[in-house]
Structure 1
Amino acid sequence: MDAWLKAALDYVPRWIDFQVQHFDQPGCSIAIAHRGEVVLEEAFGTADLGTGEALTPRHRFRVASHSKTFTAAAILKLKDRGLLRLDDAAGTFVQGLHEDAAAATLSQLLSHSAGYVRDGADAGYFPGTRPFLTAAQLRAELALAPPLPAGQRFKYSNHGYGILGLVIEAVTGEHYRDWIMREIVGPAGLTETYADIGLMNAGTLAKGHSTRLPYGRRLVIPGDAPTADLASATGFVSTAADLARFFAQLSPSSPATLLSPAARRDMTRRHWRDSESTLERYYGLGTISGSVAGWDWFGHSGSFAGTLSRTAVFPAEDVTISVLTNAIDGPAQLWVDGIAQILKVFRTRGAPSAEVADWAGRWWTLWGAMDLVPAGDKVLASPPALNPPLAEVSEITVTGLDAGLITRAPGFNQPGEAATRVRDAEGEVSEVWMGGVRLIGEFAFAEEVATRFGG
């Protein structure tokens, strides 16, 4: 493993652990793959607030719309085999659709440009007030005219991906779940992934959780509803590690043979811009894409009852990041972006030199925590509460064993002032001074502040 990546992976869990506590989240599971191999997987917090069960990397999550990427890969695999074409009309395979819905092409369904209704007249299956739709119910809803003409704009549709599941069944003569488990999940080498909850024959499901408002506490959401014939849109169950493995294989430059390079390029290129979003993002064929910290990415996100998740591949860096949270307000997108920022800082600066490596640590003042993060030949001082992390830092140039100079910093900080470490009688570092600001360890800080303020 490259030295810069190893150094980054040492800091990522420390930052995520703080963020989980800072945002008062139940739990979070992360995985990072490099060159297709998982190089980090960790879990933080709780799998079920009702029981206090600790979350582990082996807990499965409802990963919701990540399912669309699996379904898109299935369609592209059938195309590679010559069993369908992307310009085939949906009505060629699925009967009973409105004529406009039937005329939409598979490419339009894959790219969410078919104009289909998003979730139908009653989307109560997501909050659990009704069962997920059967094929007959899906066809009945799509017997109505689509809200928009096909090819007009990007318009997300779970119903569209439900129809793609029926297309797979029509072409293969098998149930969607059976075929995709054998032809996509199995060949991808995924052992913790299931096309719907009913197929999960091993492992434990992480429970979902509500927001705190307006209840005053987080409610536990089982998240165990089967998704019927919307499994192709939202049914999948997986782990962060398996998602990282799968998405890494979709990179056009991956040596994996799950799909042809041409199919992977078509899946991951930008077909439609989400022009009315404040986020600069695009949709391909079952993938979302954009850029963060100057690095282009593709991947997908997912939101089920009580969970929020996101996976992103950074092809130029050959890195994949997957973050799964078990609360509906889990900041999975922010944390993927934050991890990417950490990786970029270390990719740019390099692993810490021997002269600065032992400055690493977390220190506290009344204003919160401050992380000292050695990178290259400098020590970066940055609050772990900030996101993006390591984006606005004070930069310390080490001049002696316990002495340094703040050589770069925002004007409201302490540029040009000293950075000093103080050791106790046992020779351990017990304090850090940034200019005139004293920082101490977490437990000493908690005790000191409780004594001062009567806590």
Structure 2
Amino acid sequence: MEPWLGAALGYIKDWLAFQVEVSGQPGCILAIAHRGEIVLEAAYGHANLDSGEKLTPRHRFRIASHTKAFTAAGIMRLREQKRLKLDDPVGDYVKDLHPDVATATLSQLLSHTAGLLRDGNDSGQFTNGRPYLDKDELLAELRLAPAIEPNSRFKYSNHGYGLLGLVIEQITGEPYPSWLQREIMTPLGLRESAPDMTLLGKGVPFARGHSRTVPVGRRVVIPGDNPTQAIMAAAGVVATAADTARFFAQLAPNSKKSLLSVASRREMIRRQWRVPQDIEEAYYGLALMSGTTAGFDWFGHGGGFQGYISRTSVIPAREIAITVLTNAIDGWAPGWANGVKFILQAFATHGAPSRTTRDWTGRWWTLWGAVDLVPFNTQVMVANPVFINPFLDAARIEVTGRDAGRIVQAAGYASHGEAVRRVRTKSGISEIWLAGARVRPERVLRAEMERKYPKGRRKKTI
């Protein structure tokens, strides 16, 4: 492992712990793979707020639409076995569909361009308003006309992936979950994954989902154990963050070990359609979304299940896969996955700490909040751990002496050019003066604030 990566992983772990704490999220698990091997696993918070059960890296989550990449890998594997072609009409395999649905190709279903309904006429299956559709119910809705003209734009459809699950069953002659477990999960060594909650073994640790704090005024626990039935191929998989990262890592074209050929992996990642949205520039291939963040080209997928939000990004150029799993409907997984990319880019650009900078580190506090001193090869950055990109407009310190430095770069409203000094006692650094601002350890500031601002009866406001 390159020195910069080891340094980045250390800061990522501390930064994400802070993010989980200040966000008020129930829990989060992070896994990072490098060259197919897990190099960081970390768990924060709770698996169940009602019971107080602590979250661990071994807890399984509903990873929801990550499942689509598993299903697509299955389709690509069957293609490599010459049991199907991507331009085959789905009606060749599943009968009694609407004529316009039957003419949709497997490629269109994989890329969400068949024009199908997203979640059907009653999407309460994704809000705990009703059970997930069974096979007969799914087929009944697939006898309805597509919602829009096929191949006219990207239009996400869980129904389309449910239909792909039926294709796999028809070709293989066995239930989708049994085939997926044997042909995809077991060969890849995914021992902490199952095609659906109903197939999770007894006693396996499972993280429960949680609601927002509104409208109840607190987070309620959402069991998250409902079977996905005919929608399993779109949203069923239950897994740890580590297994999820391993699976997606092997889909990179430059991965040395994979279940699929390089050609299949390239086809899955190829940007076929732009995703119409303003929040983030993104594209979609065959069950894989892609984009560019923090200067890194990435591919992966996200997931949203009732009570869970998850995100995985693979950076092929660095042979890194990142998975973030959160167990709340308002989970911050997408932002935190991007934050990890920002941190990786900073360390890749500026290098690991040197002998001069490496002890200029730690989290320091004022009344305004925390700042992180993050050492790199030649300079020390003053990062803001509350930001998704902690290095956004970060001041840079040049170390000029054992306990002295100077801010050599800062934003316009910051303290460019001013001095920095550390105060040292027998027990180590007790405080730092950053351009006139006194920063101290959290415990010291906390004690001072409790003295200055004692808890008392507050006046009622009108």
TM-score w.r.t. the length of structure 2 is 0.97
Amino acid at match of 2:357: V
Do the aligned partners of 1:368 and 1:383 also contact (CA within 8 Å) in 2? no
- Quote the offset at 1:255 in angstroms: 1.2
Distance 2:437 2:317 in 1: 41
C-alpha distance after superposition, 1:152-194 (max 9, x if no partner): 1100000000000000000000100000100001111111010
Once the two structures are aligned, what percentage of the paired residues are identical? Answer: 53
Do the aligned partners of 1:48 and 1:220 also contact (CA within 8 Å) in 2? yes
C-alpha distance after superposition, 1:226-280 (max 9, x if no partner): 1011100000000110011000000011111300111000001111101344321
- Quote the offset at 1:144 in angstroms: 0.7
Distance 1:6 1:314 in 2: 16
**Match of residue 164 from structure 1:** 164
**Match of residue 413 from structure 1:** 414
C-alpha distance after superposition, 1:390-440 (max 9, x if no partner): 12211011111111111111121111111111123x241110110110001
Distance 2:218 2:421 in 1: 43
**Match of residue 307 from structure 1:** 308
Q: Helix, strand or coil for the counterpart of 2:79?
A: helix
Aligned length: 454
Do the aligned partners of 2:118 and 2:155 also contact (CA within 8 Å) in 1? yes
Structure 2 unaligned blocks of 5 or more: 456-462
**Match of residue 199 from structure 1:** 199
**Match of residue 260 from structure 1:** 261
**Match of residue 444 from structure 1:** 444
Do the aligned partners of 1:3 and 1:351 also contact (CA within 8 Å) in 2? yes
Moved more, 121-130 or 84-93: 121-130
Q: Helix, strand or coil for the counterpart of 1:359?
A: coil
Moved more, 209-218 or 320-329: 209-218
Do the aligned partners of 1:211 and 1:217 also contact (CA within 8 Å) in 2? yes
Distance 1:276 1:66 in 2: 20
Query: Does residue 343 in structure 1 map to residue 332 in structure 2?
Result: no
Query: Does residue 71 in structure 1 map to residue 74 in structure 2?
Result: no
**Match of residue 458 from structure 2:** none
**Match of residue 97 from structure 1:** 97
Do the aligned partners of 1:100 and 1:149 also contact (CA within 8 Å) in 2? no
Distance 1:33 1:87 in 2: 34
Structure 1 unaligned blocks of 5 or more: none
Query: Does residue 182 in structure 1 map to residue 178 in structure 2?
Result: no
Amino acid at match of 2:415: Q
**Match of residue 112 from structure 2:** 112
C-alpha distance after superposition, 1:3-24 (max 9, x if no partner): 0000001100110000001111
C-alpha distance after superposition, 1:33-70 (max 9, x if no partner): 11111100110111110011110000000000000000
Distance 1:277 1:228 in 2: 33
Amino acid at match of 2:163: I
- State how 1:111-130 maps to structure 2 within 5 Å: 111-130=111-130
Moved over 2 A (4+): 275-278
C-alpha distance after superposition, 1:295-352 (max 9, x if no partner): 1100000000100000000111111100000011111111010001101100011100
- State how 1:29-428 maps to structure 2 within 5 Å: 29-201=29-201, 203-424=204-425, 426-428=426-428
Amino acid at match of 2:312: T
Distance 2:8 2:281 in 1: 26
Distance 2:119 2:51 in 1: 33
Do the aligned partners of 2:251 and 2:258 also contact (CA within 8 Å) in 1? no
Moved more, 324-333 or 276-285: 276-285
Amino acid at match of 2:370: A
Distance 1:104 1:152 in 2: 12
- Quote the offset at 1:128 in angstroms: 1.4
